[in-house]
A = this chain, B = another copy of it.
Amino acid sequence: MKHQKPYEPSHGLELGDFRMTKQRQVVYDVLMAKLDHPTASEVYSRTVTLMPTISLATVYNCLETMTQCGLVKQVNLDRAPSRYCANLKEHAHFYCEECGEVTDLELKSGVKSTNAWKLPRGSRVDHVEAAIKGVCPACTRSKN
């Protein structure tokens, strides 16, 4: 069985041998420029306008590396292509079934993200991934 790599805390940012190449810089800039949740190919489309020679494979590599380093987060909703997100604070994702937008939901203060669930005593929690599907306020309003 192929296990996940153990989750690396995103603060601390242990970059190790991380080399800041031009490509990585552009990919990172693109992610920071617009805090929506682009897929790898959307990131590619945006980077290619800034650096026409970059390849899709490199974008994938950069996103993977940055995910490992904790610079960005990979967001997976169902089987859809992964999206990437530069918001490093703990948060959930809201997926609007009408407009397809993904927005971040902050954690309420003083609350643990696991607090709704019965965790067996003795579990160690490393990471919580919460996705909420529904209809966003804007789409709810425009529906009638």
Contacts and interface: CB of A to CB of B under 8 A. Distances in A.
A6 interface: yes
Q: With a 10 A CB-CB cut-off, give which of A6, A78, A117, A133 has the most chain B CB atoms.
A: A117
7 contacts: A4-B97, A92-B117, A116-B130, A120-B136, A123-B140, A125-B133, A126-B134
Nearest to A119: B105
Contact of A130 (B76, B78, B129): B129
A122 B141 contact: yes
Interface stretch (A16-24, A30-38, A107-115): A107-115
Contacts of A127: 132-134
Contact of A140 (B1, B124, B137): B124
A74 interface: yes
Contacts of A78: 4, 74, 76
